[in-house]
Amino acid sequence: MSRTIESIKGKLIVSCQALPHEPLFSSFIMGRMALAAMQGGAAGIRANTSQDIEEIQKNVDLPIIGIVKRDYKDSKVYITPTMSEIDDLMRVKPDIIAIDATKDLRPGGKTLDEFYHEIRIKYPDQKLMADCSTVEEALHADELGFDFIGTTLVGYTEQSENLKIEENDFAIIREILSKVKHKVIAEGNINTPEKAKRVIELGCYSVVVGSIITRPQLITEEFARKLNTLHQDKGEKNEIL
């Protein structure tokens, strides 16, 4: 079956990523992770680096949202921050390229508007997703013309550090949905099937889920933390007795 972007409508996109300091860091492993996600029912994949995407494409025929995470000393932006990362991704041609669409300046002091127009001039047919952290940033990305508006960075920037994407029945998502023209992809701290179902019910085009599916060390931490709390409670009880 040939992949189409329309196939992710109302469906689950699984983020298959591992950074250099993480135990599953390997393009081969991410390829197998994507295969496991597809077998579990994922309709799309979000992946980091052209190397991982190339390996994933060998394993699954699903729409891919591609990014490159890279730190630059003169910028807080790290998700596909410059044209260098765009050019690298275009080598493997992901269906969608996601970039940081916050108000923070890109490397070299470049604004989002400048960067967006550069991409559109060089790659006019490439679908773009805006990774935003506030309602205002989402509205601006919508005005610029991004094909997809994402909530990826809510809570991860200075301007959004007090915001929670799931708070008040996804109030941020509901406000964005009521004000933008382009498709909204929910992403960020959507860590239960119930939450994923809810954002689709609200009107999101698709939903991205990552760590709770593909980062076993974080999943393990939750189980271990709960059991450690149990042991602590028992210890305190014994001290009282």
pLDDT in tens, 176-199: 999 999 999 999 999 999 999 999
Q: Using pLDDT thresholds of 50, 70 and 90, give the confidence band for residue 234.
A: low
Over residues 4-16, the mean pLDDT reads 97
Q: What are the b/e assignments for 211-220, b being 16+ CB within 10 Å?
A: ebbbbeeeee
pLDDT in tens, 58-104: 999 999 999 999 999 999 999 999 999 999 999 999 999 999 999 99
Over residues 97-115, the mean pLDDT reads 98
* Cα angle 217-219-223, degrees, rounded to a multiple of 5: 110
Q: Is the dihedral of CA 138, 139, 140, 143 positive or negative?
A: positive
pLDDT surpassing 90 at residue 125:
yes
pLDDT surpassing 80 at residue 233:
no
Q: Using pLDDT thresholds of 50, 70 and 90, give the confidence band for residue 3.
A: confident
Q: Residue 79's closest CA among 181, 159, 157?
A: 157
Is the CB of residue 11 less than 8 Å from the CB of residue 210?
no
Alpha-carbon gap, residue 64 to 232, rounded angstroms: 44
What pLDDT does residue 1 have?
Answer: 39
Domain boundaries, the chain: 5-216
Alpha-carbon gap, residue 204 to 222, rounded angstroms: 28
For domain 5-216, the question of CATH label 3.20.20.70 is answered with: yes
What pLDDT does residue 230 have?
Answer: 82
Mean pLDDT of the chain: 95
Backbone angles phi, psi at 47, to 5 degrees: -145, 155
